[in-house]
């Protein structure tokens, strides 16, 4: 991840990755058929770590608002702790390289991405069932939540100075919950 962060996806070589890892170039080929497979597996491992952290954080929360706060906080913390991962993540979301490399990168990203959207949609469905969120398309709301938080993550990683992480977590959760909270009946005014 560090080599890719420095060099970019298409410029990172097996030799540079082997040097960074402190192993012989041939050793890498014992485990990976080529550089692209190594990058794919690195991405899959990092995303699995992110998803495990997010899932653990959400599992301990009871209400949808608490789950949303746990999701955003865990996601922000992961990217803050793994800043090198940003370049790889960004490259895989917006592929570089040849058309063949771009297709491989999309195949690697798409299943992980869909799984995260579907997991969030399942949480939204539960929240709708409990009356914590008004009725709406769970997949669309999940997409909005995942992409909205990703936009702030990407901005935080490129800023020289970011606001405190908790401020951004509060912004997302408060804004989304105010916008998705169940509609409250309006009180009639009596004169």
Question: What's the Cα-to-Cα distance from 101 to each of 82, 104, 141, rounded to whole Å?
Answer: 24, 5, 31
**In CATH, which superfamily holds the domain spanning 35-180?**
Tetracycline Repressor, domain 2 (1.10.357.10)
How is the chain split into domains, by residue range?
35-180
Distance CA(103)–CA(108), nearest Å, equals 9
CA-CA-CA-CA dihedral for 157, 92, 114, 79, to nearest 10: -20
State which H helix or E strand residue 114 sits in.
helix 99-130
User: If you average pLDDT over every residue of the chain, what do you get?
Assistant: 83
Residue 191: pLDDT over 50:
no
Among 22-26, 79-83, 132-136, which stretch is predicted with the lowest mean pLDDT? 79-83
pLDDT the model gives residue 113: 82
Q: What is the pTM of this model?
A: 0.74
pLDDT the model gives residue 5: 72
pLDDT the model gives residue 182: 65
Tokens 């804004």, residue located: 175
Mean pLDDT to the nearest integer, 11-32 = 90
Distance CA(136)–CA(139), nearest Å, equals 9
pLDDT the model gives residue 158: 79
């Amino acid at each position: 991840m560090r080599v890719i962060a420095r060099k970019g996806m298409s410029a990172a070589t097996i030799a540079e990755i082997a040097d960074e890892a402190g192993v012989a170039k041939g050793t890498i080929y014992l485990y990976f058929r080529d550089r692209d497979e190594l990058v794919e597996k690195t991405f899959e491992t990092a995303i699995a770590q992110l998803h495990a952290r997010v899932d653990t954080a959400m599992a301990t929360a009871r209400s949808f608002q608490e789950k949303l706060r746990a999701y955003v906080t865990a996601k922000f913390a992961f990217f803050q702790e793994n800043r090198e991962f940003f370049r790889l993540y960004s490259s895989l979301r917006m592929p570089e390289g040849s058309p063949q490399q771009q297709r491989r990168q999309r195949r690697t990203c798409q299943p992980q991405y869909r799984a995260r959207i579907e997991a969030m949609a399942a949480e939204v469905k539960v929240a709708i069932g409990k009356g914590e969120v008004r009725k709406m398309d769970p997949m669309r709301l999940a997409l909005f939540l995942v992409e909205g938080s990703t936009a702030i993550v990407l901005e935080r990683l490129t800023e020289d100075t970011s606001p405190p992480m908790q401020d951004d977590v509060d912004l997302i959760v408060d804004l989304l919950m105010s916008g998705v909270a169940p509609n409250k009946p309006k009180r009639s005014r009596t004169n």
